[in-house]
A and B are shown apart, each in its own frame.
Chain A
């Protein structure tokens, strides 16, 4: 029966030793370990949370970036279109201007030419007239030396003039 009757000495020692063991471990042992482990698991939890947050931010940034790139591309094509448009406009205008300028110049030139031709014609006419007068003078002087011929000539001239 000694197996199931607790021995008094062992009871005393067990109580004392277990109490000492418990107090030492409860003061210097387990709370430190569990505290640190909890601290670490909190830290890991927080790290996971912040990693998730960071991932979310990165995703948002990527979206933003994509949006910006799209926008920029749109803007670029718009600007390019606009530039092409402007270039075309400018070219067209320039062409038109050149055209009108050319027209003006041509018209001017034509006018000048006309005027010069007028002048030249007038000149030529005057000279021809003078020459003709001179020739006529000479002819008349020559022909008039001979009366018969002079008469004939005068008659012819009058005819001609009359015609």
Chain B
């Protein structure tokens, strides 16, 4: 009974708000471009759009750093090129080609993409989140340097960090890598915290969170390449023998190196699956959440009753999705670390007797 009462209260609290927002945004919501809405939220951008007040966007301008083949380096603030304006010959493409990217127009009128290392929304968020990770880990390390570990145990944040680190190291790294896990534990721990913190920050809807970092393929690509290097650079003889001359009947490997070919493909598919898994999971989570929220705006023109009731459902479902995403944030970081550890462990397996 109490729960139903709470639910009713929530509905009552939401109704006037939704009716109000339905009125004000009716015109805007009427032609809500779903694709632009989705891609705008999960994609990258040159400025960090926070909200829109009275039709004017409120955003943090970020530096655009581009190098044109003809005119050299250009470094300027992104507010110069917002809404399709042109600055120093650079503008954001609205066309199909290079859509949303900074381009310049070549002499023959075609669009040319300059060398672009702008601090975009994702890069900026990457810097913020990396700083956050640094602060978290280094403050934990500092606690350990300042305290006698044999006389005191950490509390609060340091305690949580210690719990996470010990859990990852004991359950994941030690189990996966095996004997000389100490060599790999810094990389695997870094990967874990990088993914975990970025996932969590991605769920936070407002600045400085909300960037879809771990759901961006460039980020997961770099992580997967790191794991690939960690696996293959230090693989032992047994590992390479298993790839180039596996224990299968000779006709499978002698005239035509069928099995070695498959094994070599396998070398690449393992990190590839890591990359796709993390990217797809996080991006899909963001899309789901955005879709659930979009229900509110899509139904805005269907009248206050449908809009109101669907909004309630959307909010409840959104809360559920958010909680689920928190779980996924941890789970994906855990899975990535665990699989990396297992792959590394496989590359360092000693020959078993018999």
By a beta-carbon cutoff of 8 Å, the part of chain A in contact with chain B is: 2-15, 17-18, 20-22, 24-26, 28-34, 36-37, 39-40, 43
Interface of chain B, main secondary structure: helix
Q: A33-B165, A36-B149 are in contact. Are A24 and B187 (CB under 8 A)?
A: no
- Could you say which residues of chain B place their CB within 8 Å of the CB of A43? 149-150
Q: Which 7 residue pairs of A and B lie closest in terms of their CB atoms, listed nearest first?
A: A26-B186, A6-B218, A29-B137, A36-B144, A10-B218, A32-B141, A13-B123
With A12-B117, A37-B166: A26-B134 Cβ-Cβ less than 8 Å:
no
Given contacts A12-B117, A37-B165, A21 and B223 within 8 Å (CB-CB) = no
Q: Is B162 interfacial (CB 8 A cutoff)?
A: yes
B117 touches A26 (CB 8 A): no
Chain A residues with CB under 8 Å of B117's CB are: 8-9, 12-13
Contact with A along B96-117 (1 / 0, CB 8 A): 0001100000000000000011
Which residues of A have CB within 8 Å of B194? 18, 21
B226 at the interface (CB under 8 A from A): yes
CB of A18, distance to nearest CB on chain B (Å): 6
Check if B137 sits within 8 Å of A26, measured CB to CB.
no
* Cα separation A39 to B153 with both chains bound (whole Å): 12
* B169 and A34 contacting across the interface, CB-CB below 8 Å: yes
Q: Is B120 an interface residue (CB 8 A)?
A: yes
Selected interface stretch from B12-20, B125-133, B295-303: B125-133
Q: A9: which B residues are within 8 A, CB to CB?
A: 116-118, 120, 123
Q: A33-B144, A34-B169, A43-B150 are in contact. Are A11 and B218 (CB under 8 A)?
A: yes
Q: How far is the CB of A25 from chain B (nearest CB, A)?
A: 5
Of chain B, the residue at the smallest CB distance from A13 is B123
In the complex, A37→B167 CA distance in Å? Answer: 11
Chain B residues with CB below 8 A from A25, complex form: 133-134, 137-138, 186, 189-190, 193
Asked whether B122 is an interface residue with its Cβ less than 8 Å from the other chain, the reply is: yes
